[in-house]
Each structure stands twice: as C-alpha cells, then as structure tokens.
A and B are shown apart, each in its own frame.
Chain A
Amino acid sequence: MFCQELAAQLARDVLPRLDDAGHKLLAVGIGTDERAREFCGHVGFPEANLYADPENAAYDALGLKKGWQTTFMTIDTPLSILKRAQSDGAKDLLDATSRWKPWLPPKSDQGLQQGGAFVFEGEQLLFQHYDPSTGAHADLDVLLQAALAGEVAQAR
C-alpha cells in the first residue's frame, strides 16, 4: 500500500521534473519481473523506469533496514502517516488504499525489508535516505532538490 502510494507520487511529481532536467529515475522493488509489470499497470507507473529485485540484492548491498522492530515497532510509521494527514489529508495514501491489492514477496522475510532513496551523479553519491520504518519514505521535495541542485546552481 505504501509502495503503491510512493510509485504513484514518483510518476506524478518526480519523473516529469527529472525528465525535463535530463536525469534518470530508477525505481526498484522486491519481486519478480512479472509482478513488476502487474504493479505498473495497477499503479500507472512506467515499466521503463522499474526494475525487479527478486533476491533483494540491492537492499542487502546497501544495508537497508530490515526486521520486526523496524517494520512494526518504531514511531516513524505513525509519524509519517501524521505528516501526510497534516499536509493534504493523506490523500495519496487513501487513494492507494482504495485500490490496494495485497501481494506477498517471494520470500517471507522480504516482508520485513525497508527501502530507501539515493541520488547519484556517475559514481558520486549526492543524497541518501534509509527508510527508518514502513512508509517513512524520503521527502520527495528534498529528493528532487538534491537531484536538481546542479541545475539550480547553474541558473544563478
């Protein structure tokens, strides 16, 4: 549900800005490529920007958070929902909830995996966010600011 909300926001708010600037967007999800295509059709996310990681290899490589505590026992998830409620009544999350289809990842422990967001220029890391818990994604305005900073600096 949170992933479907995030994908819809990326397609609507982030991808057009990155396209205009000539930057790339890569979204990665845990699961098969067949499920990735279903996800794109369901959420309205472009297949060309989505990659499937059935073995959660990228998540392991980066050491993204994983486990019962970070999935269920932190304050970050309720705080992130409160932030949504205060900003726009959690509209995007409610939209995602209304069309949500439950789906289980290939391995049971992958349900305890958290995500993250990164901005690279070539090999250089410009921004990183490790989701502290479910739904506590990077602020997309901050993510865009990091990605577009070069253009802003050149425009001044």
Chain B
Amino acid sequence: MAMQRSFLLAAAVGSAGALNAHALLKPVSVLRATNGERVSLTEQWNADERAVMVLMRSFG
C-alpha cells in the first residue's frame, strides 16, 4: 500500500516537474569515472531513452 502511494505520488510529480528537473540539470557537467572526461550529465541519455539517476552523498 505504501509502495503504491509512493508510486502514485511519483507519477504526479512527473507531470508537475517534468521539464523543470531536466532543465535545471542541463548546465551541469560531471566527470566520467572511466577516464575523467568532463561530460554533460543530461547528454548521457537520449530523448527516447529512460534513465535512472542516483545521487549518492559521496564516495565514502
């Protein structure tokens, strides 16, 4: 039940903040762990792709 509520809440968030979160991340660049190359975060997935992004506190 709690899981269902969370998911419905998440679905609601999707319509309200849809473009906003992606737009906020657009100027952000990060470093690939593989080679240290600086890349745009939002360019790591395409318009027709689904991406799960998890931000951890640190590498500790």
Residues of A at the B interface (CB closer than 8 Å) are: 1-4, 6-7, 10, 14, 18, 21, 23-40, 47-48, 50-54, 57-59, 61-64, 101-105, 110-111, 113-129, 131, 134, 138-139, 141-143, 145-147, 149-150
Shortest CB-to-CB span from A64 to chain B, Å, is: 7
Chain B binding surface, main DSSP class: mixed
CB contact between A3 and one of B31, B44, B58 (< 8 Å): that residue: B58
Residues of B within 8 A of A (CB): 3, 6-7, 10-11, 13-14, 17-25, 27-36, 39, 41-42, 44-60
Asked if B52 and A115 sit within 8 Å, CB to CB, the answer is no
Given A25-B54, A124-B19, A125-B17: 9 more A-B contacts, CB < 8 Å:
A10-B54, A26-B53, A29-B56, A29-B59, A40-B33, A53-B55, A115-B54, A128-B10, A143-B52
Beta-carbon contact of B22 and A3 below 8 Å: no
Q: With the chains together, A31 CA to B36 CA distance in Å?
A: 11
Q: Determine chain A's interface SS by DSSP, over half rule.
A: mixed
**Residues A142 and B3 in contact, CB atoms below 8 Å apart:** yes
* Residues A58 and B25 in contact, CB atoms below 8 Å apart: yes
